[in-house]
Amino acid sequence: MTAPLVGASVRRKEDFRFITGQGHYTDDISRPGQAYAYFLRSPHAHAKIKHIDAGAARAIKGVAAILTGADLAADKIGGLICGWMIHSKDGSPMKAGAHPALAVDRVRYVGDHIAIVIADTLAIARDAAEKIEVDYELLSAVTTPDKAQASGVAQLHNEAPRNTAFQWELGNKPETEAAFKAAAHKVKLKLKNNRLIPNAMEPRAAIGEYDQGSGGYTLYVTSQNPHVARLVMSAFIGIAPEHKLRVVAPDVGGGFGSKIFIYAEEVVCTWAAKKVGRPVKWTAERSESFLSDAHGRDHVTEAEMALDAEGKILGFRVKTLANMGAYLSTFASSVPTYLYGTLLSGQYAIPAIHVEVDAVYTNTAPVDAYRGAGRPEATYVVERVVEEAARQLKIDPAEIRRRNFVRKFPHQTPVIMNYDIGDYEASLNAALKLIDYKEWPARKAEAKKRGKLRGIGFSTYIEACGLAPSAAVGSLGAGVGLWESAEVRVTPTGQVEVFTGAHSHGQGHETTFAQLVAGRFGIPLENVEIIHGDTNSVQFGMGTYGSRTSVGMTAIVKALDKVEAKAKRIAAHVLEASAADIVLENGEFKVAGTDRKLAFHELALNAYTGHKFPTHEIEPGLKESAFWDPLNFTFPAGCHICEVEIDPETGVTKIAAFVAVDDFGNVINPMIVEGQVHGGIAQGIGQAMLEHGVYDPESGQLITGSYMDYTMPRADDLPNYKVGLTVTPCPSNPLGMKGCGEAGAIASPPAVINAITDALGVKEFEMPATPLRVWQAIQARH
Amino acid sequence: MDMSGEVRIPATQERVWAALNDPETLRKAIPGCEELTKISDTELEATARAKIGPVSARFKGRVTLSDLHPPNGYTLTGEGSGGAAGFAKGQAKVTLVTDGGATVLHYTVKATVGGKIAQIGQRLIDGAAKKMADDFFEQFSLLAGGASQAASQSQTAGENAHSPLFEVPLWVPVSIIVAGFVLLGIVLMH
């Protein structure tokens, strides 16, 4: 018997095509007769559109059409939606400002869409866009959440007084206040979670196509969830009924959340394809991506923790201002609420928690889910405050965590979540060993001799993945169910095609899903094909985000169960035995205790010929499908520890060591999981030390709009990570898996900042830790 | 963007003045300046082309004057559009002071840029605009020195606040210079 495939570090099947340039991304697709689109965008942060004159632009040879918000309105095309309803603490529904795909009378951020210019070539479209005269009446702009609710500042939406989309709360306020009254210690921090701009390697792109013969539309798009895109564009925006709209998300080069959303460009290209009678193709320039991809984070928070004399946490209260940008993006409202407040208990048994979140509009790009989505913000708040508590109470940072860990499962937190399983002490201990914590004082002393400030920072994080039982998310305001579906089709010659509603945009599904199937049936890995991303071939799906592949894989398991059961019934007839006596071993269906057997491919052929079993009892063919609704979130957790060294002369900060020990339950492919951890930590270190999306506070211009000003982490910014795994198998899915895609980005920022504040001996410090900021903090100490 | 500076030009105020009043001198001194058009006593238009590396854009700018105190100072409000490159808006205060045999021109500029130029090069605008100013004055000083003969001749012909050769008030060229700073300095970033 060969080594089991599940649990093996199998090389990624998809990488050969990616690294040899043979992937098929949206921009690689060209449709006959296609025209090219260019979007005219607002150069102003906030302005009334008094008049648009496109006459001179339309007269340019090669221009097929110039369409504006008025044309969309005339065709009764609806605006973009936010699909998660949040209610304020007074019971009122959130105030979502109208979000037309092309601005009608007002633009609200730099990059807001004004017109689509469609021409024979992209060059003509750009030239024509320059000839469009837009008469603006400039309005003042507000860009930061702390200013948005002030009187006298710009008001973005008539529907939302004081620029406030909702005022939400979770937890128990009286109990939390009582905890503070009883507290021996109170620890308070002001925290900012910096605005991040996603930078998937592949920029967003869309090709809209209309077939006059069938009356059907096709959209090729960089999406993490093509079925959701179809549903929203059909049911809410009104492009076409679902059966007349095919959405294809081919190879997608990174998403990190930013490709979940249904954006203006894909809606307008699809609609415009019918208007001009040609396919309409748009690919974002990197500059456009900076302006118009949904950004991430941007929270301002005050958090206070109550502790008893021994450092046991009694209560936690948090007030957060969340910057939503100019409009509520597709899932924006869920991020600073149910993906954030529900994680504020961390790994700790905290009796009372109360969180209040005001979500505000500003003249900036919409903010929505970005790798971690709410959980990085929550983890940053919890882990920064716990670390500060350790310092104030003079307790070792590992020890204060130990005193507060949840140790009995299941554990019901005061903020909805029911932790099913975990062993936080195990991952903490493993991480302490990896970093060699015993030798930490020696390393600090040795660095001091060299004139360097060395600091250590902890982050014992928990997050919630899977997104999640449909009834649960429905009760919290989600407009969709969050199950997943799969179809397993065995061919007559014995290969297996798996159609999954999950979408792969870097996660390695083609390998891990194939490991699962090949391992189950004992067939070669290359005999399994994973098909995803096309609403015409995949029965249905909710897509990939929130580290929810465990949901997609469980749907496959459920379909495999059905295939195996049917195969055994067929084998029983062919082998003239009872179905109960058939076993599947090493790719063969055997009659237990005999030498009678059928190879997997022989069974498959029998299923399709139908010669040897009663087809009136058992349908011919071997193809089954399943939907799986998860029973709970999965709760990956672990411990990241960071050590930094700071040059006090320059403020330059180097990560001297970084260890990560994660509990993702059972692991299908350790190499891919490790890759996900590496990538996540890189993004987290990027947030902690380099990345910052900044708008000019007066003009509302994005002043970090290119790689000259927005610093992405490079190889030499990152350390060699030491990573490890601990395992508590997840009880809510048959494979015992938890999510792993976001953990690195969630856990690492507080580890880094805790290390920097330790090195500097300061209490508060804002991300990103640029040399200038670190140097200023050093100067301020003297 | 905020920028201020002081330039000492090694010529008498009269000479500087005359040179400043020579549109041809200014056109030569302002990098990329193609056209200067006076629209009214308080308005003028300038067109300038800047080519930096692979990027070339033509900026059209309009400058309006206020707080006019000839010949000592003005406030200039300028706005320029570079099409797809974006826009620039700015305000500048300019003063001219005689200092011995030389002239000191002091300027403070407060400008906002928008669109692509703001997005791409915000961080470099200050430095680039400053360099633009330096380049201008280096060239201008050479030209002003060369024009000294004509300037002194014109001085004897008519002793008043206006150049007898070009019936253009002093603020016109100064405003062009400032508009040039605002617009062209910014174009560098595109």
Q: Which distant-in-sequence residues (6+ apart) come within 8 Å of A287 by Cβ?
A: A705, A706, B116, B119, B120
**How far, in Å, CA of A533 to CA of A220, rounded?**
10
Distance to chain A for B157, nearest Cα, Å = 48
A667 pLDDT higher than 50: yes
A1 pLDDT higher than 90: no
For A258-280, write each residue's pLDDT tens digit: 999 999 999 999 999 999 999 99
Pairing of strands A352-361, A313-325: parallel
Least-confidence region, from A113-117, A300-304, A462-466, B55-59:
B55-59
Q: Which distant-in-sequence residues (6+ apart) come within 8 Å of B3 by Cβ?
A: B107, B108, B109, B111, B126, B129, B130, B133, B181, B185
B172 pLDDT higher than 60: no
A329 pLDDT higher than 80: yes
Point out the residue among B83, B113, B119 whose CB comes nearest to the CB of A287: B119
**How far, in Å, CA of A272 to CA of A101, rounded?**
12
Q: Give the percent of chain A with pLDDT over 70.
A: 99
**Which of A706, A711, A770, A772 would you mutate first to test chain B, the one with the most B CBs within 10 A?**
A706
C-alpha distances out from residue B120 to A704, A707, B56, Å: 8, 9, 15
For A689-703, write each residue's pLDDT tens digit: 999 999 999 899 999
Point out the residue among A130, A290, A706 whose CB comes nearest to the CB of B83: A130
Q: Following DSSP, what letter does each residue of A224-249 receive, concatenated?
A: S-HHHHHHHHHHTS-SS-GGGEEEE-
CB A86 within 8 A of CB A164: no
**Which of B2, B113, B122 would you mutate first to test chain A, the one with the most A CBs within 10 A?**
B122
Q: Which of B172, B3, B168 is nearest to B74 (CA)?
A: B172
Point out the residue among B84, B112, B121 whose CB comes nearest to the CB of A708: B121
Contact at CB, A129 and B84, closer than 8 angstroms = yes
The first and second tokens of residue A107, run together, are 């633009």
Q: What's the pLDDT at B17?
A: 66
* Cα angle B2, A366, A675; round to 5: 105
The first and second tokens of residue A441, run together, are 């004082």
The number of residues in chain B equals: 190
Estimate to the nearest angstrom the gap between the alpha carbon of A341 and the chain centroid: 17
Distance to chain A for B48, nearest Cα, Å = 17
**Which of A39, A112, A140, A696 would you mutate first to test chain B, the one with the most B CBs within 10 A?**
A696
Comparing B7 with A231, the larger pLDDT belongs to: A231
Helix (H) or strand (E) holding A80: none
Which amino acid is it at A730?
C
Burial A584-593 (b: 16+ CB within 10 A, else e): beebbbbbee
Q: What's the pLDDT at B124?
A: 64
Q: What's the pLDDT at A742?
A: 96
Q: What's the pLDDT at A383?
A: 98
Predicted confidence band at B180 (pLDDT cuts at 50, 70, 90)? low
Point out the residue among A287, A698, A709 whose CB comes nearest to the CB of B116: A287
Q: Following DSSP, what letter does each residue of B111-166 receive, concatenated?
A: EEEETHHHHHHHHHHHHHHHHHHHHHHHHHHHHHHHTHHHHHHHHHH--SSS-SSS
A109 chain-B contacts, CB cut-off 8 A: none
The structure's pTM equals 0.92
Instruction: Return phi, psi of residue B52, to 5°.
Output: -120, 115
Q: What's the pLDDT at B103?
A: 82
A126 chain-B contacts, CB cut-off 8 A: 84
A397 pLDDT higher than 80: yes
* Residue B55 at interface with chain A, using a CB cutoff of 8 Å: no
Q: Give the percent of chain A with pLDDT over 90.
A: 97
Contact at CB, A130 and B86, closer than 8 angstroms = no
Contact at CB, B118 and A703, closer than 8 angstroms = yes
**How far, in Å, CA of A653 to CA of A270, rounded?**
48
Can you list the domains of chain A with their CATH numbers?
A: 18-139+201-254+259-292 (3.90.1170.50), 372-464+633-781 (3.30.365.10), 483-628 (3.30.365.10)
Give the chain A residue nearest B82 (alpha carbons): A130
Q: Which of A687, A637, A756 is nearest to A384 (CA)?
A: A756
Point out the residue among A130, A701, A709 whose CB comes nearest to the CB of B114: A701
**How far, in Å, CA of A599 to CA of A438, rounded?**
56
Q: What's the pLDDT at A591?
A: 97
Predicted confidence band at B117 (pLDDT cuts at 50, 70, 90)? confident
For A720-734, write each residue's pLDDT tens digit: 999 999 999 999 999
Q: Which distant-in-sequence residues (6+ apart) come within 8 Å of A101 by Cβ?
A: A69, A72, A77, A79, A80, A113, A237, A264, A267, A268
For A496-516, write each residue's pLDDT tens digit: 999 999 999 999 999 999 999
Instruction: Return phi, psi of residue A663, to 5°.
Output: -110, 100
* Cα angle B27, B33, B38; round to 5: 70
Contact at CB, B120 and A291, closer than 8 angstroms = no
Q: Following DSSP, what letter does each residue of A387-443 receive, concatenated?
A: HHHHHHHT--HHHHHHHHB--SSSEE-SSS-EE----HHHHHHHHHHHHTGGGHHHH
**How far, in Å, CA of A197 to CA of A41, rounded?**
18
Predicted confidence band at A744 (pLDDT cuts at 50, 70, 90)? very high
B155 pLDDT higher than 50: no
A102 pLDDT higher than 70: yes
Burial of A105 (0-12, 13-18, 19+ CB in 10 A): exposed
Beta bridge partners of A220: A207, A248
B63 pLDDT higher than 50: yes
Contact at CB, A696 and B87, closer than 8 angstroms = no
For A614-655, write each residue's pLDDT tens digit: 999 999 999 999 999 999 999 999 999 999 999 999 999 999
The rounded radius of gyration (Å) of the Cα atoms in chain A is: 27
**How far, in Å, CA of A552 to CA of A559, rounded?**
11
Q: Answer yes or no: is the ipTM higher than 0.90.
A: no
For A582-607, write each residue's pLDDT tens digit: 999 999 999 999 999 999 999 999 99
B82 pLDDT higher than 90: no
Comparing A572 with B146, the larger pLDDT belongs to: A572
Residues of A with CB under 8 A from a CB of B: 43-44, 110, 126, 129-130, 287, 290-291, 696, 698-699, 701-706, 708-709
* Residue B118 at interface with chain A, using a CB cutoff of 8 Å: yes
The first and second tokens of residue A554, run together, are 């469980």
Q: Which of A552, A407, A416 is nearest to A485 (CA)?
A: A552
**How far, in Å, CA of A239 to CA of A188, rounded?**
50
The first and second tokens of residue A329, run together, are 């993006």
* Residue B157 at interface with chain A, using a CB cutoff of 8 Å: no
Instruction: Return phi, psi of residue A563, to 5°.
Output: -60, -45
Point out the residue among A44, A706, A708 whose CB comes nearest to the CB of B114: A44
Distance to chain A for B74, nearest Cα, Å = 25
Q: What's the pLDDT at B121?
A: 64
C-alpha distances out from residue A127 to A57, A239, A282, Å: 8, 29, 15
CB B168 within 8 A of CB B23: yes
Q: Residue written as tokens 């970005």?
A: A370
Distance to chain B for A200, nearest Cα, Å = 19
For A152-192, write each residue's pLDDT tens digit: 999 999 999 999 999 999 999 999 999 999 999 999 999 99
Distance to chain B for A748, nearest Cα, Å = 29
* Residue B125 at interface with chain A, using a CB cutoff of 8 Å: no
Give the chain B residue nearest A45 (alpha carbons): B114
Q: How many CB atoms lie within 10 A of CB A211?
A: 14
Q: Which distant-in-sequence residues (6+ apart) come within 8 Å of A232 by Cβ?
A: A81, A83, A262, A330
Q: Helix or strand or coil: residue A250?
A: coil
Contact at CB, B112 and A291, closer than 8 angstroms = no
B114 chain-A contacts, CB cut-off 8 A: 43-44, 110, 699, 701
Distance to chain A for B156, nearest Cα, Å = 49
Beta strand ranges found along A494-606 (DSSP E): 496-500, 528-532, 582-585, 588-591, 597-599
Contact at CB, A129 and B120, closer than 8 angstroms = no
B84 chain-A contacts, CB cut-off 8 A: 126, 129-130
A705 chain-B contacts, CB cut-off 8 A: 118-120, 122
**Mean per-residue pLDDT over chain A, rounded:** 96
**How far, in Å, CA of A388 to CA of A457, rounded?**
10
A291 chain-B contacts, CB cut-off 8 A: 119
**How far, in Å, CA of B119 to CA of A109, rounded?**
13
Dmax (CA) of chain B: 51
